[in-house]
């Protein structure tokens, strides 16, 4: 089943998974891949294999961390991505800590009905653009697996439960691993790894009630932009376009880790870079976000007012098929900053917030509990009757 699910996604990689596709976008993606990036990917594949052979490692997952960081910045070859992600997120460590049957135990645990209902509503729209070309049985199976990932996460992290945008990260991992269990492990390890402070991003405050960590990091991004772009340039661009707070633009970037922002090939390159260079920090997320902001500022003559900026920034990112330029701009094009730099900006933000009431919101918690079988979206009501050995067709 794992290989089948992965093949479902692979069969459609010329189209999109999380954003609306178009003939122009498909054509540009194919042209970019075939005329430019496939040759680079082949050279990187050869270099990885040669490095493994030279060091007698047996597998790309045994490469030293500096090598994995460098290859991650340049992009992992498609056939290695699943194994490398499993290694970088230490999925075996998670399973060792909680037991092989932990995922199944989570699925047998009830959750507050209010959380279950939100999951239920989000299921069909998470992959709506992608599943429109799937047969009904395949669509139902994908929705069931996605539901299981989010359900298990809500049980494992009750302080978060469920937050919209986790559905897209879960679906991305499902496209990589083809397994609901591994995708659940990966989601936990990415958001807030319980096995190591150096695994994943440790951003539970992006998704917990109040989203204080998210709001703080958006403020930190603003401080970073004012510092790196220049106060005068920043004010001339954003304040003249009535953008009083960057959250108006960047919340989706941080919340979904760019998964709903860029074409899927670009998303894969970004996630390669994030996972291979995170080390328990989300500074790569800031690098990508800053690169987009700088691109917007450079297009000031195109994005002339608030309306143009609010529609234009999505148009720009959703047509950004040249992921090589994006990653190079986010690495070589930005002078280095460290975890200490991020902490300095966070300290400045905390001091600025002292004495002020921060934004808070309350995660809806119902007074009744929901069982797993009740969390089925109307469009996937037949999902539980799909036999495991059914012949599922890739259109």
What are the domain boundaries of the chain?
A: 23-87, 92-197+367-385, 204-353
Rounded alpha-carbon distances, angstroms, from residue 153 to 7, 272, 293, 389 = 25, 23, 32, 27
40-49 contacts at long range (C-beta below 8 A, 24 or more positions apart): 40/74, 40/75, 40/324, 41/75, 41/77, 41/78, 44/71, 44/74, 44/75, 44/77, 45/77, 45/79, 45/80, 47/71, 48/77, 48/80
User: At residue 315, what are phi and psi to the nearest 5 degrees?
Assistant: -60, -40
More confident residue, 52 or 384: 52
* pLDDT greater than 90 at residue 12: no
Directed axis angle between helix 283-298 and helix 264-277, to 10°? Answer: 140
pLDDT, mean over the chain? 88
Q: Select from 316, 326, 314, 313 the least CA-distant residue to 266.
A: 326
- Which two structure tokens, joined as six digits, stand for 3? 């290989």
Confidence of residue 300 (pLDDT cuts 50, 70, 90): very high
Does the pLDDT at position 26 exceed 80?
Answer: yes
- pLDDT at res. 267: 97
Residue 14 has pLDDT above 60, yes or no: no
Q: Where are the beta strands (DSSP E) in 69-132?
A: 111-112
| Phi, psi torsion values for 111, nearest 5 degrees | -130, 165
Q: Is the pLDDT of residue 150 over 90?
A: yes
- 11 vs 78: which has the higher pLDDT: 78
The span from the first CA to the last CA of the chain, in angstroms, equals 17
Q: Is the pTM of this model over 0.85?
A: yes
Q: Which CATH number fits domain 204-353: 3.10.20.30, 3.40.50.300, 3.40.50.800, 1.10.472.80?
A: 1.10.472.80
DSSP state letter for 301: T
pLDDT digits (tens, 9 = 90+) for 361-375: 334 433 467 677 766
Q: Report how far residue 149's alpha carbon sits from residue 187's, in angstroms, rounded to the nearest whole number.
A: 8
Fold of 92-197+367-385: Helicase, Ruva Protein; domain 3 (1.10.8)
Q: Positive or negative, the Cα torsion across 285, 289, 294, 295?
A: positive
Q: Taking 80 as the threshold, does the pLDDT of residue 239 lie above it?
A: yes
Written as six digits, the tokens of 287 are: 């690098």
For residues 108-134, give the mean pLDDT. Answer: 90
């Amino acid at each position: 089943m794992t290989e089948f699910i992965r093949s479902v996604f692979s069969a459609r990689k010329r189209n999109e998974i999380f954003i609306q596709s178009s003939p122009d976008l498909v054509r540009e993606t194919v042209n970019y891949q075939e005329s430019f990036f496939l040759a680079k990917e082949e050279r990187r594949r050869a270099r990885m294999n040669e490095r493994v052979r030279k060091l007698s490692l047996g597998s790309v997952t045994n490469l030293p961390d500096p090598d994995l960081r460098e290859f991650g910045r340049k992009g992992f070859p498609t056939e290695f991505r699943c194994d490398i992600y499993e290694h970088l997120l230490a999925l075996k460590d998670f399973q060792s800590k909680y037991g092989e049957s932990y995922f199944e135990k989570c699925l047998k645990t009830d959750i507050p009905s209010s959380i279950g209902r939100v999951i239920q509503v989000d299921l069909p729209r998470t992959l709506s653009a992608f599943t429109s070309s799937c047969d009904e049985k395949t669509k139902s199976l994908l929705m069931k697996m996605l539901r299981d990932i989010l359900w298990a996460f809500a049980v494992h992290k009750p302080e978060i439960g469920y937050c919209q945008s986790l559905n897209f990260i879960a679906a991305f991992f499902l496209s990589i691993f083809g397994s609901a269990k591994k995708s659940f492990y990966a989601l936990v390890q990415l958001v807030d790894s319980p096995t190591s402070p150096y695994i994943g991003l440790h951003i539970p405050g992006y998704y917990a009630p109040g989203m204080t960590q998210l709001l703080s990091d958006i403020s930190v991004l603003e401080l970073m932009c004012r510092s790196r772009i220049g106060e005068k340039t920043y004010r001339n661009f954003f304040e003249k376009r009535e953008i009083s707070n960057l959250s108006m633009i960047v919340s989706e970037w941080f919340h979904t880790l760019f998964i709903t922002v860029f074409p899927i090939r670009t998303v894969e390159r970004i996630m390669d870079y994030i996972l291979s260079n995170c080390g328990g920090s989300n500074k790569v997320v800031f690098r990508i976000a800053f690169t987009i902001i700088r691109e917007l500022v450079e297009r000031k003559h195109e994005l002339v007012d608030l309306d143009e900026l609010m529609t234009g920034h999505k148009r720009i990112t959703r047509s950004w098929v040249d992921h090589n330029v994006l990653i190079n701009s986010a690495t070589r094009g930005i002078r280095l900053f460290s975890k200490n730099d991020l902490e300095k900006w966070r300290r400045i933000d905390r001091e600025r917030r002292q004495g002020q009431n921060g934004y808070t919101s309350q995660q809806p918690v119902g007074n009744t509990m929901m069982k797993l079988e009740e969390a089925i979206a109307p469009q996937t009501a037949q999902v539980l009757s799909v036999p495991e050995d059914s012949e599922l067709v890739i259109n």
